[in-house]
């Protein structure tokens, strides 16, 4: 299938990054969100990130302007009806995703491929609630999208080969690398990464180490570029908790029980960088550990 127009649902951190890389690669992109402010903020973020690429010599000024010119924004989900491919990057809640697909699918052509950027939810289950399970699959970008090279491609039980081949071609055109995952809770990256973060939170909860000592230990002792608690703040503690719940519910194994301290932080609204407080307090010039 010749994919030229791509619809992106959700203008948040993931959605604006996906729109950015698609536009740079030459795709026409329609970005939608329920919030006009989110769409405006997304365009500003994309502009800044393109500026950064120009300053590093990765793009020319003409490339920047052309990419921005390929991105349109809309509050009306129906405006994505002419897309060849749709990538849903909304909130990591299954009920929200089902509602989006139910509203969108009546406006799509029969050949349009539907995908979800979900980081953990069953692709088979999402696909089964649409009118095109054979043209549905998982298209999971890593954060931050313009920087990270990996895309997880996840087939549902009904996904056909043509859909998988078309999505693989998009990943290749973006200059990224695809890994193929089976449709099990949290797929590959988050199946390994988020339980590690959860264990780091348990290490804090049980008093084995402080925030600073845990992050320093993993950066200098395991050569991780970012400590697990700092990374949790970057991902969003609500997202970490959501993925742990998917693992716990989907695999019924107590080793995936979310740490009570993670639950408490989310209940407090301390979600990490996006709320200015998590395992670090970001309200000053320098992040300060909160425990």
Q: What is the CATH number of the domain that holds 261?
A: 1.10.1040.10
Average pLDDT over residues 167-190: 96
Number of domains into which the chain is organized: 2
pLDDT, tens digit, 9 for 90 and up, residues 78-95: 999 999 999 999 988 899
Report phi then psi at 190, rounded to 5. -75, -20
- Give the pLDDT confidence score for residue 92 in this predicted structure: 86
Both 202 and 269 in one domain: the answer is: yes
Q: Could you give the CA distance from residue 72 to residue 70 in angstroms, rounded to a whole number?
A: 7
The answer to whether 60 touches 19, Cβ cutoff 8 Å, is no
Q: What percentage of the chain has pLDDT greater than the value 90?
A: 97
189-205 vs 228-235: helix crossing angle, rounded to 10 = 120
Domain region containing 148 = 5-182
Check whether residue 153 and residue 198 sit in a common domain.
no
Neighbours of 250 (CB within 10 A): 15
My answer on whether 20 and 156 are in the same domain is yes
**Tens-place pLDDT, residues 199-208:** 999 999 999 9
Q: Is the pLDDT of residue 271 over 80?
A: yes
| Residues 199, 136 within the same domain | no
The overall longest dimension of the chain from CA atoms, in Å, is: 56
Given a cut of 80, is residue 277 above it in pLDDT?
yes
Which of 154, 182, 210 represents a domain boundary (last residue)?
182
Structure confidence by residue, pLDDT tens digits, 35-79: 999 999 999 999 999 999 999 999 999 999 999 999 999 999 999
Chain-wide mean pLDDT for the chain? 96
130 and 12 inside one domain: yes
Binding residues, by number, are 10-15, 33, 92, 97, 119, 143, 274
Considering the domain architecture, whether residues 243 and 131 belong to the same structural domain is answered as no
CA dist 170 and 183 (Å) reads 20
Q: What is the mean pLDDT of residues 11-39?
A: 97
User: What residue numbers does the annotated binding site for NAD(+) cover?
Assistant: 10-15, 33, 92, 97, 119, 143, 274
Q: Give the gyration radius of the chain's Cα atoms.
A: 19
275 tagged catalytic: no
Residues of the chain with pLDDT > 70: what percent?
Answer: 100
d(CA 7, CA 42): 15
224 classed as catalytic: no
Q: Is 248 one of the catalytic residues?
A: no
- The predicted pLDDT at position 188 comes to 96
Please tell me the predicted confidence (pLDDT) of residue 157.
97
Query: Among 157, 182, 207, which residue terminates a domain?
Result: 182
Task: Over range 264-291, report the average pLDDT.
Answer: 97
φ/ψ of 208, rounded to 5, equals -70, -35
Q: From 126, 158, 182, give the residue that closes a domain.
A: 182
Distance CA 154, CA 150 (A): 13
User: Please, are residues 81 and 107 in contact by the beta-carbon 8 Å criterion?
Assistant: yes
pLDDT tens, residue by residue, 131-170 = 999 999 999 999 999 999 999 999 999 999 999 999 999 9
pLDDT digits (tens, 9 = 90+) for 107-140: 999 999 999 999 989 999 999 999 999 999 999 9
Together in a domain, 244 and 127: no
Q: Which of 140, 181, 198, 242 is catalytic?
A: 140
Same domain, 151 and 38: yes
User: Of the listed 49, 119, 181, 198, which one is catalytic?
Assistant: 119
On whether both 165 and 238 belong to a single domain, the answer is no
Q: Which of 166, 178, 171 is nearest to 85 (CA)?
A: 166
Mean pLDDT for the stretch of residues 180-208: 97
Asked whether residue 1 carries a pLDDT value surpassing 90, the answer given is no
Q: What is the CATH number of the domain that holds 72?
A: 3.40.50.720
pTM: 0.90
Looking at residue 47, its pLDDT comes to: 96
> Is the model's pLDDT at 31 over the cut of 80?
yes
Per-residue pLDDT at 179 exceeds 80: yes
Q: Active site residue: 152, 198, 230, 242, which one?
A: 152
Judgement on whether residues 213 and 126 belong to the same structural domain of the protein: no
Do both 111 and 15 map to the same domain? yes
Q: Are residues 162 and 202 in the same domain?
A: no
Mean pLDDT value across residues 220-238: 96
Q: Which of 73, 190, 198, 242 is catalytic?
A: 190
Known catalytic residue at 140: yes
pLDDT at 178: 97
């Amino acid at each position: 299938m010749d994919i030229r127009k791509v619809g992106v649902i959700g203008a948040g951190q993931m959605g604006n990054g996906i729109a950015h890389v698609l536009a740079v690669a030459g795709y026409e992109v329609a970005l939608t969100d329920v919030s006009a402010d989110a769409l405006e903020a997304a365009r500003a973020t994309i502009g800044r990130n393109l500026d950064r690429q120009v300053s590093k010599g990765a793009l020319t000024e003409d490339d920047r302007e052309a990419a921005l010119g390929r991105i349109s924004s809309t509050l009306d989900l129906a405006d994505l009806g002419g897309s060849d491919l749709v990538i849903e990057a909304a909130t990591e809640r299954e009920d929200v995703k089902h509602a989006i697909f139910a509203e969108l699918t009546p406006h799509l052509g029969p050949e349009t491929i539907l995908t979800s950027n979900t980081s953990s939810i069953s692709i088979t289950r999402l696909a089964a609630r649409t009118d095109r399970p054979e043209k549905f699959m998982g298209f999971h970008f890593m954060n931050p999208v313009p920087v990270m090279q990996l895309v997880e491609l996840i087939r549902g039980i009904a996904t056909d080969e043509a859909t998988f081949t078309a999505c693989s071609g998009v990943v290749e055109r973006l200059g990224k690398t695809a890994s193929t995952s089976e449709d099990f809770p949290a797929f590959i990256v988050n199946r390994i990464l988020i339980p590690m973060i959860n264990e780091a939170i348990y290490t804090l909860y049980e008093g084995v180490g402080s925030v600073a000592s845990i992050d320093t230990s993993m950066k200098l002792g395991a050569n991780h570029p970012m400590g697990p608690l700092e990374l949790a703040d970057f991902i969003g503690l609500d997202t970490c908790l959501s993925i742990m719940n998917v693992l716990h519910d989907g695999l019924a194994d107590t080793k995936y029980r979310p740490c009570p301290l993670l639950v408490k932080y989310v209940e407090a609204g301390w979600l990490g960088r996006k709320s200015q407080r998590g395992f670090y307090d970001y309200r000053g010039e320098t992040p300060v550990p909160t425990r």
